Structure 1
Amino acid sequence: MSDVVDDDLYRRTKALLEPGDIELAGAIVHTDLTGQEDLEMHELTVELNEVIAAHAGKGETYIYAGNDDTDFSSNQFQGLTVEDDAFVWECQQLLRNGTFDIVFYYEADVDQEALVADVRDRGYEVTSVVLEDGDVATDA
């Protein structure tokens, strides 16, 4: 955990990966985007959708904003397959200390190191989040 930028956010993200219906991994993308930069946040989410979708290998995806779904919150999005609306990823855009961090979750069968490296190669600071054997989070 030596490359963690925000220990609290890392811990909370890791807690959300706890075993459920599917095994998840995650990435926290740290930005310098402020709450006034909605268009740039949208563009970044689209760009990262392409990275995660490529690593997930599930085909073409689109971004679902959930504006018509009461189960979604503001700044929550999903990447779904065009073919059958299957889950590829979900993210939360969190405004913390004046700038956004984007927390992504996706199925853990991706090559996590390669995905994180691709995000870094695009110039973004990213923290990899995976559950390790014996991890048990106590709160989210």
Structure 2
Amino acid sequence: MSDTLDSDLYQRTKALLEPGEIELVGLIVHTNLTSDQDLEMHELTVDMNEIIADHTHKGETYIYAGNDDTDFASNQFHGLTVDDEEFVWECQQLLREGTFDLVFYYEATADHEEIIDAVEELGHTVTAVP
């Protein structure tokens, strides 16, 4: 990926984390997954749900795809708690130069460094967004 696209994606991700109701941090997972690798993309999203849920200590979570919500974009997902549908994370899967980058953001109270380490252990390059 070119430095310009990488910088642009970083800046856009950082803008998503601007102060709101809750303080957020994020990360960009750079993959080699192409648009015909739907199953692998789904598996990575499930893995990320588990990693982020483990390090936010919010309990059991599920992935909400927003298929029934006109405010959702395609390739946008939420991790929500099973008990009360509390926000845990949001993800956008972005196709850039033929492969996907996954942008995740979640509450700053999560163990950000441990999440990054766990994702890198899966074999992916990660850009942290404070």
TM-score by length of 1: 0.88
Q: Identity, % of aligned pairs?
A: 70
Cα RMSD over matched residues?
Answer: 1.0
User: For residues 12-36 of structure 1, what are the alpha-carbon distances to aligned partners after superposition, in whole Å with 9 as ceiling and x for unaligned?
Assistant: 1001110001100001000000011
**Residues 1:43 and 2:62 aligned together:** no
Counterpart Cα distance in 2 of 1:17 and 1:80: 18
Please give the alpha-carbon distance, in whole angstroms, between the structure 1 residues aligned to 2:69 and 2:113: 33
Once the 2 structures are TM-superposed, how far is the Cα of residue 58 of structure 1 from its aligned partner?
Answer: 0.3
Measure how far apart 1:91 and its partner are: 0.3
Q: Which residue of 2 aligns with 1:10?
A: 10
Taking the aligned partners of 1:41 and 1:122, their CA distance within structure 2 comes to 13
Question: Superposed, which structure 2 residues align to 1:1-140 within 5 Å?
Answer: 6-130=6-130
Q: Which runs of 5+ in 2 are unaligned?
A: none
Structure showing the higher helix proportion among its residues: 2
- Residue deviations 1:73-124 (CA, integer Å, cap 9, x gap): 0000000001111000000000000000000010011121111111111211
1:25-83 Cα offsets, whole Å, 9 max, x none, are 00100000001111110010001100000001000000000000001000000000011
Q: Secondary structure at the match of 1:6?
A: helix
Aligned equivalent of 1:133: none
Letter in 2 for 1:21: E
The runs of at least 4 consecutive aligned structure 1 residues that moved more than 4 Å come to none
Letter in 1 for 2:117: A
TM-score by length of 2: 0.94
Number of residue equivalences: 126
How far apart are the structure 2 equivalents of 1:58 and 1:72?
23
